[in-house]
Structure formats: C-alpha cells, structure tokens
Amino acid sequence: MIWVRTASSSIKSFHKSSLVRMHIKCRGSFYPRTNEKVTRTEVPDDKVEWSASFHDYAPRQYTAPHILAGPEYADPDISCPEFKPLWNAVDGNINRCSHEESYNIVDGYPRNMHGRTGIAGRGALGRWGPNHAADPIVTRWKIYDNEVAHGETGKPILQFVCIQRRDSGEWAIPGGMVDPGERVSTTLMREFQEEALNCLEMTHEQKKQTEDKLKNFFQGGEEVYRGYVDDPRNTDNAWMETVAYNFHESSQDGILYSLQLHAGDDAQAVKWQDISSQLNLYASHRDFIQKVAEKHNAHW
C-alpha cells in the first residue's frame, strides 16, 4: 500500500485533507464492470508516479461501449476533429479544471496527475480529464434513549446515510456527478434526494414537500474534502474528483430523526450506518468518513 501526500503547499483550495490513499482501488487487475474482463497493466507501487521510469509501460486503451455510444454526458473521442476542449479551464458549462492543480496534456491526452493506473482511454467515465462529483455526508448521533457511547473508546457513535451502489454492490456515500453548469450545493441535495429518498419516484407535490423540509438543513453543510478520488473507474486520462460536505443533525428533534429513507436511482439499498474504522466503502469514501468522525470527536 502506498501513501501519497496529496496536498501541495501551492494548492490553497485543496485543504484539510493531507493524506489520502491513492491508486489502490484504481490499480486492481481488472477494470470494473466489463463483460470481456479488461485487464490493467500491473503498476508496482514505486512506478505509480510518472517521474518513475517504466520504459515498457504500454497500457491498453479502453473506453467502455456505453461511453463510445455517445451519451449526452460524455465527451466525443479525442480524435474527433470537432472536439476542441479547453483543458484546465471552464469550457462553456463543463468544468475541466482540477480541484488540485493543472494537469498536463501529453500527446493530446490529459494525464492523470496522481500517476499511472495501468489503463489508458476513458474507461467508464464520460469526460477526459477530471469528472466532477459531489458527496453529501449526512450524519446524526446514534440514539436510543440517550446518545450511545462506544464500549471501548467511550466516544459517542455517529451514523451516516449510506447507500449500496447498484453497479458494484459496494456501500458508499450517496454522491453523484455534477451536471454541466450545476452548482455543487445543488448536486449535493439532488443526489441525496434521488439515492437516499427515491425522489425520482415521488409525485411533484411530494417532491416539493421533501425539498422544503430539507432546504434549511442542507444550507448548514461544511466542506470536508475537495480533490481527487481513488475511484476504481479512473484511468491514465480520466479520473474522478469530488467535493464532500458534511451535513450534521445535532438535535434529537431535528429532521433527520424522522426522515424515511428509500433507496432510488443508482442505489439499491440505503441505511443509517454506524461509523467506525471497520467500515469498508467505495473508492475513497472511508477516508472522508474518517475525517467527519474526527471533526465531531466521535468513535472511529
């Protein structure tokens, strides 16, 4: 396992998180969710960084068929003459800036600034370069009659709204992609409602009521992470970045103690999950949750 210090002193916006595990989940032997078992080139720990010489590194180019089919959210192929992206910039309503630093363009392709992943192309990601997401970490204290403290640490136990992803079956924060031109604050609330409350199946009236109930609560969030995600879909030319916010309910009379959770959209299940170091979550989500536990001085 390698640890890469991700916060560069020159990056002001990439704050709070100094250590995040990098390129563990996006260096597995097979690319996720491919029927034909697409393999990644093996990249040893000491060859992840581009500065490490790896002369015979020739990863397979792979872009998933559903991306090549050209859905609305995906870029065209880089070879397409009409495709003239503005790298490291806000390109129309598409944000092609990294939250961390400028990425290099090598032979016409954006290069993953966290190093080699063993596969080139876009894989299952729609955009070349950064693909922006937002992650709402919705927490409350575990309560029966009173707050429940952990038997070993004596610290109160925090719970967060956790969904099970339909694609991989892994448990995760109910995050999702920022739509072109969308504000991150909108994505945070929209994704929570879609995946943890199943608002896509609500009537217009029910949707409006839920939104009204949640609006105030979602105004009180605090940013806990902004930057790269060690997502299993990352490639040498396309990667996930996120902004994670914590929305915490501190009052037992607050909305989160009466909210009915219903899985929807990309989620096949949803639950209140006790937070502890035993958690095994999708991509870098465990690291984000640990930060939230520390912030609240909760059991970990």
Q: Which stretch binds ligand RP5 (CB under 6 A): 51-59, 91-99, 167-175, 214-222?
A: 167-175
Q: Cα dist. 282→163, 165, 173, 189, 200 in Å?
A: 10, 9, 8, 20, 23
* Distance in Å, CB of 229 to ligand RP5, minimum: 4
* Distance in Å, CB of 131 to ligand RP5, minimum: 8
Using Cβ positions, the residue closest to ligand RP5 within the complex turns out to be: 175
Paired residues of 222 in beta bridges: 246
Closest CA to 127 of 58, 71, 189: 71
Closest CA to 233 of 224, 225, 242, 223: 242
Helices and strands in the chain: count of H runs, count of E runs: 4, 15
Binding flag, residue 136, ligand RP5 (CB under 6 A): no
Binding flag, residue 162, ligand RP5 (CB under 6 A): no
Torsion of CA 109, 113, 115, 118, to 10 degrees: -40
Binding flag, residue 240, ligand RP5 (CB under 6 A): yes
Binding flag, residue 266, ligand RP5 (CB under 6 A): yes
Residue 130 or residue 157: which is nearer to ligand RP5 going by CB?
130
Binding flag, residue 283, ligand RP5 (CB under 6 A): yes
Residue 116 or residue 132: which is nearer to ligand RP5 going by CB?
132
Binding flag, residue 137, ligand RP5 (CB under 6 A): no
Binding flag, residue 101, ligand RP5 (CB under 6 A): no
Residue 131 or residue 141: which is nearer to ligand RP5 going by CB?
131
For the record, the structure tokens of 4 come out as: 């890469």
Binding flag, residue 173, ligand RP5 (CB under 6 A): yes
Binding flag, residue 265, ligand RP5 (CB under 6 A): no
* Distance in Å, CB of 234 to ligand RP5, minimum: 8
> Crossing angle, helix 204-219 and helix 184-196, to 10 degrees?
130
* Distance in Å, CB of 161 to ligand RP5, minimum: 13
Number of residues that bind ligand RP5 (CB under 6 A): 13
* Distance in Å, CB of 232 to ligand RP5, minimum: 9
Closest CA to 61 of 128, 135, 7, 134: 128
Query: How far apart (Å, rounded) are the C-alpha atoms in residues 164 and 223?
Result: 23
Paired residues of 30 in beta bridges: 39
Closest CA to 106 of 4, 239, 236: 236
Residue 275 or residue 283: which is nearer to ligand RP5 going by CB?
283
User: What mask of x and - would describe binding to ligand RP5 in positions 26 to 65, judged by CB under 6 A?
Assistant: ----------------------------------------
For the record, the structure tokens of 184 come out as: 């991150």
The residue within the footprint of ligand RP5, chosen from 75, 100, 135, 265 (CB under 6 A), is 135
Binding flag, residue 175, ligand RP5 (CB under 6 A): yes
Q: Cα dist. 232→74, 86, 170, 239 in Å?
A: 18, 26, 12, 9
The residue within the footprint of ligand RP5, chosen from 138, 177, 289, 298 (CB under 6 A), is 177
Binding flag, residue 133, ligand RP5 (CB under 6 A): yes
Across the chain, the runs of DSSP E, i.e. the strands, are 3-5, 19-21, 60-63, 90-91, 94-95, 105-106, 109-110, 119-123, 129-141, 158-165, 171-172, 176-177, 222-228, 238-249, 267-274
Give the interface with ligand RP5 as residue ranges (CB under 6 A). 133, 135, 172-173, 175-177, 229, 231, 240, 242, 266, 283
